[in-house]
Structure 1
Amino acid sequence: MRLLVVDFDYFFPVPQDPKDPLAPLFAWAHFETPYYLLEAWEERALAFLLRGLPLPGAQGWRGFWERFAFAKGAVLYYADSNALAFHPEVRQGVEEVVLFDAHHDAGYHPLGEVPACDDWMVFYHRLGARLRVYYPSWRDPSLEPEPKVPVAREVDSGGKLPGEFHRVFLCRSGAWVPPWADPDFFAFLEEAPLPRVALEPLGPRPLDLEALRRRAGEEALGLFIMESLRRPS
């Protein structure tokens, strides 16, 4: 049984060079809690809007599914957290995991007793599955710590992958991918040529971008007035 796992943060580029002038705007903490899934993104959006910069978005997801062949009866499971890639319905009979992700998810911290979003690949290794990670072209794998278990890792060169996949798991990774990219995520999900099964309730996250843009305009005006008052007459 061959499992294809796709983390939507694969399609959300972030600067890799710390000297990139935009890098500080992406210096985000990541935890899968309600705050980091939604509220944290308001301040992150404002950081771009106050500088007159466009919000970063998902890229390169259109046509992605065309790169794969799927076995008859294959099903796509989806959720927000990649930890659910080890859900009982997903892992049953899996002998090989092929992951498209900006992270190897093969352990970064001391391992817990249950799979988490950053170590679920370790649990597949314990079952004897072969593991492979394809990083997006924008990602520098050298920035990642070494996996805690053997994982074949390479930067994705594009093109079709040989062989068939018998099962697919897709996660949104809402702590890494902002709410304003949710429409792209759900469009990507709809493009998948497979029956789809939700492993947890998942819908677009409420984020009022127009209100944030108004707030950014008001704060920018306030800063302009303050600076004007400070200038010598």
Structure 2
Amino acid sequence: MRLLVVDFDYFFPVPQDAEDPLAFLFSWAQFETPFYLGQAWEDRALAFLLRRLPLPQAQGWEGFWERFTFAPDAQLYYADSNALAFHPEVREGIREVVLFDAHHDAGYRPLGEEPACDDWMVYYSRQGARLRVFYPPWRDPSREPEPKVPLVRAKDPGGPVEGMFHRAFLCRSGAWVPPWADEAFFSFLEAAPLPKVALEPVEPRPFDLEALRQRAEEEAFGLWFLERLRGLS
């Protein structure tokens, strides 16, 4: 059986070049904790709004599901964390995993006792599954550490994906994708042509964009003055 796994951060481009003048705005710590899933995004959004820059958005998700052929009885499981891609209901009988993600999720640090969002692919390798990851066009695979288990890595060439998939899993990755992209995520989820099963509660996160815009208007001059003193503008 073949499993398709899609991490929604695939559709959220971030600068890859450290020389990019906006790269510092994306220097985000990312941990799957309540703070980084929610509150941390307010200050991150404010950093853009204070500079009168548009908030970065999810891109390119429209029409994505049309690239795949699914078995008649296939289901889509979904969660916030990609760690649940190895949930018992998802992994049963899987012999091949095809991942669309900005990260290979095949281990970046010593393994814990349970699968985590960054190493769940290792557990599929241990049960003998073949592994493949397609990176988004904006992502340079060479910037990733080597995976801890064998898997085929490539940039997504686009177009139809060969073969049939018997199961699918989608994660929001709320520590990597901001709450202002939640509307796009739920539209993407709804567009999937499969019955859907939630493995954990996934709801739109509270995010008061208008209040942040008002705060940015009040604080923008102070930021401009400070950056002038530092020679940044």
Normalized against structure 2, the TM-score is what?
0.95
- 1:222 is displaced (CA, Å) by 4.8
SS at structure 2 position matched to 1:125: helix
> CA 1:151–1:42 in 2, change beyond 3 Å: closer, same or farther?
same
Looking at structure 2, the residues matched to 202 and 157 of structure 1 have their Cα atoms a distance apart, in angstroms, of 30
Output the CA distance in 2 between the equivalents of 1:226 and 1:191.
45
Share of identical aligned residues, percent? 78
1:154 aligns with 2:154: yes
Partner of 1:28: 28
Q: Within 5 Å, which residues of 2 pair with 1:56-71?
A: 56-71=56-71
Q: In structure 2, list runs of 5 or more residues that go unmatched.
A: 228-233
* DSSP-derived class of the 2:166 partner: strand
Within 2, Cα distance between the matches of 1:96 and 1:222?
54
Point out where structure 1 has 5 or more consecutive residues left out of the alignment: 228-233
Aligned to 1:219: 219
Q: Matched residue of 1:146: which SS? A: coil
- 1:77-226 alignment, distance < 5 Å: 77-222=77-222
Aligned residues: 227
Query: Once the two structures are superposed, what CA deviation does each residue of 1:198-232 show, in whole Å capped at 9, x if it has no partner?
Result: 000111000100000000000114557999xxxxx
Cα distance, 1:13–1:223 mapped onto 2, change above 3 Å: closer
Residues 158 and 226 of structure 1, relative CA distance in 2, 3 Å threshold? closer
Match of 2:15 in 1: 15
- Residue 50 of structure 2 contacts residue 223 of structure 2 at CA under 8 Å; is this kept in 1? no
Q: Give 1:179 deviation, angstroms.
A: 0.1
* Deviations 1:87-129 (CA, angstroms, capped at 9, x unpaired): 0000000000000000000000001110000000000000000
SS of structure 2 residue aligned to 1:105: coil
- Residues 193 and 122 of structure 1, relative CA distance in 2, 3 Å threshold: same
Q: What amino acid maps onto 2:106 in structure 1?
A: A
Residues of 2 paired with 1:122 and 1:168: CA distance?
18
Change (3 A) 1:163 1:224: closer
Counterpart-to-counterpart distance in 1, 2:220 and 2:179? 23
The structure with more radius of gyration:
1
Alpha-carbon displacement from aligned partner over 1:113-161 (angstroms, at most 9, x marks no partner):
1000000000000000000000000000011000000010000010001
For the aligned residues, what is the CA RMSD?
1.3
Q: Contact 2:133/2:153 (CA < 8 Å) preserved in 1?
A: yes
